[in-house]
Amino acid sequence: MSSKPSVLFVCVHNAGRSQMAAGWVTHLAGDAVEVRSAGSAPAESINPVAVEAMREVGIDITDQKPKILTTEAVQASDAVITMGCGDTCPIFPGKRYEDWELTDPAGQGIEVVRQVRDEIRGRVEKLLAELTA
């Protein structure tokens, strides 16, 4: 295990919630926390409304691509945060798991996605406080 904590965000398509959460971790913690995101059934590309919502707060996630969830990614992470992927996430003993119930931004307008973005920020801030304590 590396000296810095690592977190993996997982949602079904790895196109909205998990990408926004990873963007917040990178923005708020810099290099202090290793961050990954993945999906159980990755989309072709990131949700453009999620990209726009993050751009509004000065975070650029345009270079991210949806990735498939792997056993290795879970094993390499200290905390695994799931967002609506249910039982598709592999479970390993000794890992910290949390399921964040968040509205899926897919197909939603910018107003809804902004609310999801802001809720994710609050949860990420709490998680970072716990991981870096």
Per-residue pLDDT of the chain (133 residues; tens, 9 = 90+): 458 999 999 998 999 999 999 999 999 999 999 999 999 899 999 999 999 999 999 999 999 999 999 989 999 999 999 997 666 666 777 788 899 999 999 999 999 999 999 999 999 999 999 998 8
User: Which one of the listed residues 8, 59, 73, 89 is annotated catalytic?
Assistant: 89
Q: How far apart are CA 18 and CA 120, in angstroms?
A: 9
- 11 is known as an active-site residue: yes
Catalytic residue among 85, 113, 116, 124: 85
Catalytic residue of the set 11, 15, 35, 83 = 11
32-44 residue pLDDT tens: 999 999 998 999 9
What is the rounded CA–CA span in Å between residue 69 and residue 52? 24
Q: 56 CB contacts (<8 Å, ≥6 apart)? A: 114
Residue 59 lies in a domain: yes
Q: Is 78 a catalytic residue?
A: no
Cα–Cα distance between 112 and 89 in angstroms, integer?
Answer: 26
**What is the tally of structural domains in the chain?**
1
- Round the average pLDDT of the chain to a whole number and report it: 92
Q: What is the pLDDT of residues 11-31, one digit of tens each?
A: 989 999 999 999 999 999 999
Residue type, 31: D
Domain that holds residue 19: 6-131
- Residue 96 maps to which CATH number? 3.40.50.2300
Residue with tokens 């202090």: 32
Whether 85 is catalytic: yes
